[in-house]
Structure 1
Amino acid sequence: MEIFKILNFWIHLISGMIWIGGILFFSMILLPSIQRNLSPEVDGTFLRDIYLRFQKIVAAFVVLLLITGGINIHFSHLARGVFTQKYIWMLNTKILFFTILVTLYVLNLKNLSEIRKKHALQRIPFQDASLVLGVLIVLMAAFLKHTP
């Protein structure tokens, strides 16, 4: 049982790191580099192709985060017993941020067919909101880890 708990937690961390890390990478490294180093005719097409591939990969990690997150809550409950009011508040806040982030992801999926038709993509949809939510989710995870 202990190995399952560890593997579940590890999968949860890796999934979150790839999704949130990907958003950070797009925002802080890829987009500025593309805009600085590629011609306007090429940069939008290049960004669109990378964005479409990233959206496909993220789908698997969203599902993994949902499953492993629920299992982590179960294991946390077993270890802690009754959750404190503070812990419940922080957990609900993290779940709210995650729900909003998933909603933005679903809205992106809804627009994928339109994005595929476009010749170029100059900006990632909901990029700034996704970045802020991702950072807040990681912050809430840190609070949860150190809250009795």
Structure 2
Amino acid sequence: MHKRFKHYLEEAQGSDVKEQELTDIVCDALDELRMHCPRLYWDTMYKMHCAVYGPHFDECLAKKAVAKMKNVDGTHGEYWTYEQTSQLAEQQGIKHKADWYYVMNMLHSDYSEIYGNDINMYIRVAKAYMNDPDASEGKVLDVWLAQMIE
């Protein structure tokens, strides 16, 4: 980490005003970076996200990603709510509920014409997708991010 930035962070701790000002400065810089160097922007955002959540969706990011889905039936966004998929995740022993929410909705978005309303099919395919032995632990987030960068 840049030594001066680390120093500024340490000095700002405990002051809501100073912490907010530093946050605003970094956010403005990230906006500029996104416009002028998108690859570095996405790499930086990924590293910050992983520092907090690991290589997995958090609930907020998953909901944003799902909201932008264009479904094969002409609709947009989620078919299942986060709460619905979280209940299924608990029943199936799925640890990363936000990844599960994203995958279940992605499968419905892309394959509902094939799978129809067979919830068991979606569950089986989602588990297979998330437990792919050839894939990295962060497959779900990484595949989504690769699509965002294109």
Per the normalisation by structure 2, the TM-score is 0.24
Per the normalisation by structure 1, the TM-score is 0.24
Greater relative contact order (Cα < 8 A, sep 6+): 1
**Bigger Rg, structure 1 or 2:** 2
